[in-house]
Structure 1
Amino acid sequence: MNLNAEKHSQLIKKKAEKYGFISCGISKAEFLEEEAPRLENWLNNNANGKMQYMENHFDKRLDPSELVEGAKSVVSLLYNYFPEENQKENTFKVSKYAYGQDYHHVIKKKLRMMMEELNEEIGEINGRVFVDSAPVLEKAWAAKSGLGWIGKHSNLLTKQRGSFYFISELIIDLPLAYDTPVTDHCGSCTKCIDACPTQAITPYQVDGSKCISYLTIELKEEIPSDFKNKFEDWMFGCDICQDVCPWNRFSKPHNEPLFNPHPDLLDYKKEDWTEITKDVFNEIFRKSAVKRTKYEGLKRNINYILKD
């Protein structure tokens, strides 16, 4: 074992802890051979719906050296977003990951600071930071680096924490000590599959075109009538498959102040949401990922739920 690789790996994991990441795993930057046919089948089945961007950069999604020249290692990191408090009962629901400020910005800032420190302490590292904003198969890399296994709902799962966390990566040209994958612990459980109101989940795969998260966020046109009365009051995203997962009983509240919600988000009832104005929308979701759907998109989702 290269002693430097071991030493640098320990340093990276220490930095990850310093910046609040709940875990960090490292895998060798190589072509994701097993993922290639899976991704191809998923696209061939039109499971990406209208997410045309998923068809782009096929090679980049599978080969990290296409994203960072001379890439040697993929460092995967998990950041907890499980909230201390949830929205009230009998309201239109927002996925927990969007309660606070947009995770793209919050986590990217931490990763950039981390990279700066690593450059100072190790020497010049060529690399890039990624937070769900480039063609990177994040869950595949996280599983490869031993951070958890991909569950039947296609989210990364850990025995200690469940699945309510963001995944991000550093792809760097530094050789490191590599971690090994963990085993699958879903067993015969099918709770996520059984609970999905739109039947978007088959074991280990989600048909994006049927997923409530896709329909309320990614789909920019009219929502098909096939999903009438199936949204279970979700107006932005959906957490059903995670909420029912037995492993999520181990989720612990995050301690990231930037992920704390605007008080109105927790207190609003259905009638408040139906009357929401553009100004109030901009205030409640000022720095939130909910801004992706825009005021008009949120109103469209609410109106769709309200129609008989």
Structure 2
Amino acid sequence: MKAEQLKQEIIAYSKEIDIDKIGFASADVFEGLKERLKRQQELGYQSGFEKGSIEERTEPDRLLPEAQSIISIALAYPSRIKDGPKSTKEERRGVFCRASWGVDYHDVLREKLSKLSAFIRERAPEASTKEMVDTGELSDRAVAERAGIGFSGKNTAMITPEFGSYVYLGEMITNLPFIPDTPLEDGCGSCTKCLDACPTGALVQGGQLNAQRCLAFLTQTKDFMPDEFRSKIGNFIYGFDTCQVVCPYNKKIDFHNHPEFEPEPDVAKPKLKPLLKVSNREFRNTFGHIAGSWRGKKPLQRNALIALGHYKDKTAVEDIIDVMNHDPRPVIRGTAAWSLGKISSPEAFSAIETAMGKESDEQVLAEMEKGLAFKSEVSGT
């Protein structure tokens, strides 16, 4: 079968299986990306979550030796929760970023790519394919940009004309020689809304991200969150959305094309106090199907403690004291102490002072000192 005829059949089939956008790119080396990645590495801007070497991330034929083309797909996801629960003084809630609403997108996109691969192999038995979603070596964004799915925004997101940046991306390397689609022109122009809104300066310049300062990354780490970022995450317990929310291309964008991505209100915006003591089984049952669960419950509980401190939630003091006194994990005990100090009630300060006499971990003791330091702010001395 001729490549162009097969390409059109693939496009038609992609619509049948509810792929919102599809594009075709060459499997040439991503030379520009390679230089940017080297620079990121030199500057220490990488997150550490990246898979593979720079060569594997920019040379498709290292992943599929006979690579000739890459097929990129995009699925739109919602930006609003219908009838979302409200946070109250008695029951404060956290929030997962929009990319973690609904069923884990990795699973959904892999299924779409698997169907697409089977379709291609039926029509071209000689076809070889390698599919990946987010956690693969290739940059989803670089592939999508080359395939004409959208353009790479200053907020480092892939911005599509139809769905804004609220899209999940995946790709398939193949040995079939498809005619590449035309990349889109950059659409950011002189706009700097995302750079101006980034609360930590993680967007160093348009299109360059220092992941070590990105709140979306920091919410996923498992150690103590650095002091300077604690006041900035608000009630986010996983991910961060501000650089997308302020983007003009996302104004009034809210697509509900896929039932799998529909947010479960109490999962997307969970109550914070119950999250502090959730068991492993309860965590898996409640959150195991969403993308935001991949790092386990520890980062989410740490972030929940920070959020309760941010809210100055006095109704949570008893629960947080219990965590500080009994949780076996130093990061959680220490963050609980900091949170109590931030809440700044007499009961909270007294509990920290009592706990210090029994605590032996140096890092936890340092966090207790930080918690007690809020006393001077309260007293004005």
- Point out where structure 1 has 5 or more consecutive residues left out of the alignment: none
- Point out where structure 2 has 5 or more consecutive residues left out of the alignment: 88-92, 310-338, 343-381
User: Which of 1 and 2 has greater Rg?
Assistant: 2
Kept in 1: contact 2:75–2:168 (CA 8 A): yes
Give the AA of the match of 2:4: E
2:61 to 45, 62, 65: 65
Structure 1 partner of 2:218 = 215
Aligned residues: 303
Give the AA of the match of 1:282: R
Kept in 1: contact 2:21–2:75 (CA 8 A): yes
- Counting helix residues as a fraction of each chain, which structure ranks higher? 2
Closer, same or farther in 2 for the Cα pair 1:210/1:18, shift >3 Å?
same
- Structure 2 CA distance for aligned equivalents of residues 266 and 36 of structure 1: 36
How many Å apart are 1:222 and its aligned residue? 1.7
Structure 1 partner of 2:36 = 38
Question: For 1:43-88, what per-residue CA distance to the aligned partner results, in whole angstroms no more than 9, with x for missing partners?
Answer: 1111114x1645x421111110110121010111101112551644
- Structure 2 CA distance for aligned equivalents of residues 240 and 292 of structure 1: 22
- Structure 2 CA distance for aligned equivalents of residues 267 and 213 of structure 1: 16
Trace 1:1-308 onto structure 2 (pairs within 5 A).
Answer: 4-49=2-47, 51=48, 53=50, 56-85=52-81, 87-90=84-87, 91-201=93-203, 202-217=205-220, 219-266=221-268, 268-274=270-276, 276-305=278-307, 306=309, 307=339, 308=342
Identical-residue share of aligned pairs (%): 29
How many Å apart are 1:146 and its aligned residue? 1.0
Kept in 2: contact 1:195–1:241 (CA 8 A): yes
Q: Identify the structure with bigger relative contact order (alpha carbons < 8 Å, sequence gap 6+).
A: 1
Question: For 1:218-257, what per-residue CA distance to the aligned partner results, in whole angstroms no more than 9, with x for missing partners?
Answer: x222211121201122110111111111101252322222
Taking only aligned residues, the RMSD between alpha carbons, in angstroms, comes to 2.0
Kept in 1: contact 2:60–2:173 (CA 8 A): yes
How many Å apart are 1:273 and its aligned residue? 4.4
Kept in 1: contact 2:81–2:265 (CA 8 A): no
Kept in 2: contact 1:81–1:166 (CA 8 A): yes
Question: For 1:64-121, what per-residue CA distance to the aligned partner results, in whole angstroms no more than 9, with x for missing partners?
Answer: 0110121010111101112551644543110111111111112111211221111112
Question: For 1:144-188, what per-residue CA distance to the aligned partner results, in whole angstroms no more than 9, with x for missing partners?
Answer: 111111000011112221001111001000001111111111111
Give the AA of the match of 1:82: P
TM-score (norm 1): 0.91
Kept in 2: contact 1:24–1:77 (CA 8 A): yes
Closer, same or farther in 2 for the Cα pair 1:248/1:257, shift >3 Å?
same
| Farther-moved stretch of structure 1 (167-176 vs 13-22) | 13-22
Describe the SS at the equivalent of 1:77.
strand
Kept in 2: contact 1:88–1:266 (CA 8 A): no
Closer, same or farther in 2 for the Cα pair 1:270/1:53, shift >3 Å?
closer
